Amino acid sequence: MAPVSMEKVNKVYENGFHAVKDMDLDIRDGEFMVLVGPSGCGKTTALRMVAGLEDITSGILRIGGKEVNDETPKERDIAMVFQNYALYPHMTVRENIGFALKLRKTPKAELKAKVNEAAEILGLTDWLDRKPGQLSGGQRQRVAMGRAIVRQPSVFLMDEPLSNLDAKLRVQMRAEVARIQRHLGVSTIYVTHDQVEAMTMGDRVTVMRSGVLQQVDAPQHLYDNPDNIFVAAFIGSPAMNLYDATVGEGARSVKVGSQTIDLPDSVRIKRPALASYAGKEVVVGMRPEHLPAEADDAAGPKLVGDVDLVEALGSELVVHFTVDAHRVLAEGAVDKDEAAAVKSGEGVARVAAKTPVKAGDRLTFAVDTDQMKFFDTQTGLSIRT
């Protein structure tokens, strides 16, 4: 139970690869912090530096206020859960969970009590004398958790601990891991590439890209107010629709391709800086749920698209459409194959299930201008004040 702070932390590998760049991050006492980003963004490296499995090239790492750069993993009093669980296959569940305590020469009675307590919390009591090979994926995952919690460490480090589970179990364990963390109140750093995990589990979420920290915020705030194009494109599924656009005179409208979307006063009040972009290029972002279907002759800001594909999910329709504007892809937010498949002008909207629409139709979407995002084309930063 200790805060963790990273101050200008860098990691440069021997081959010159700069994996983590000037990372500043404060994890509060008892906080559940999720590190999220595409693969290769440095999130795992950052975690491994906190664990002490990777040397810190420069910068200061503190756990509980104490600088721990040169301390061994053991001295840092951390516990880590690995993606493949890394259970000792030759030991029983009981021995696996108790191994760290045994190394610390914990008296036998105390060790037994602690192992039993951890097993109780995780519902593993009946499985204590089995070996990992005899357990299901979910149970192994619990053993890995048990090994971490039994020591009551200052910090939990978790490296994609749920990614080896099947979808249904993952949902269940997501809730369970979050519950255990809150129950124990131990500061936790949780690495994942799954944004659903990031959104649902974390007190705060840190988004990383190419070794650079992009934004640290509470999940909802991150979703509603992305600081830059990358965060906007990375968080949310289906992804935010991002188009090149030109701001009209007095920022009273914005032109997306050949269509002009009127902006009411509320947008300018919320984003005073937008006025200075009059006549300039920007990137606009609209989340799929902020583009409801609308009658063709309705008043108010709207966007018309040619429907390519309709996916009926039962509760709603996911409509893939095309407009004649340039679709902006944040580099790294989607993987290369996906990016190559995206056509120019493609967009996604989530509309009511009963909307009569099929591929080939032309559909009008109402634009929720208050929820529209604006980004500087050059810097990629959000335009707010």
Judged by the rule CB under 8 A, the positions of this chain that interact with another protein are 51-53, 72-74, 78-80, 82-84, 86, 88-90, 99-100, 103-104, 147
Nearest to 244 by CA among 327, 365, 329: 327
For residue 120, count other CB atoms closer than 10 A to its CB.
11
Nearer to another protein, 143 or 330 (CB): 143
Nearer to another protein, 87 or 282 (CB): 87
Cα separation, 308 vs 321, in Å, equals 5
Q: How far is the CB of 165 from another protein (least distance, A)?
A: 17
Cα separation, 163 vs 43, in Å, equals 15
Nearer to another protein, 63 or 245 (CB): 63
Decide: helix, strand or coil at residue 317: strand
**C-alpha dihedral sign at 295, 256, 266, 231:** positive
Q: How far is the CB of 75 from another protein (least distance, A)?
A: 9
Nearer to another protein, 89 or 356 (CB): 89
**C-alpha dihedral sign at 277, 280, 281, 286:** positive
Cα separation, 62 vs 2, in Å, equals 10
Q: How far is the CB of 82 from another protein (least distance, A)?
A: 4
Q: How far is the CB of 332 from another protein (least distance, A)?
A: 26
Nearer to another protein, 117 or 368 (CB): 117
Q: How far is the CB of 115 from another protein (least distance, A)?
A: 14
Which residues, in sequence order, are CB contacts of 264 under 8 Å at separation 6+? 301, 369
Tokens 């029983």 sit on residue: 92
Q: How far is the CB of 116 from another protein (least distance, A)?
A: 19
Tokens 């963790």 sit on residue: 4
Cα separation, 6 vs 59, in Å, equals 7
Nearer to another protein, 21 or 112 (CB): 112
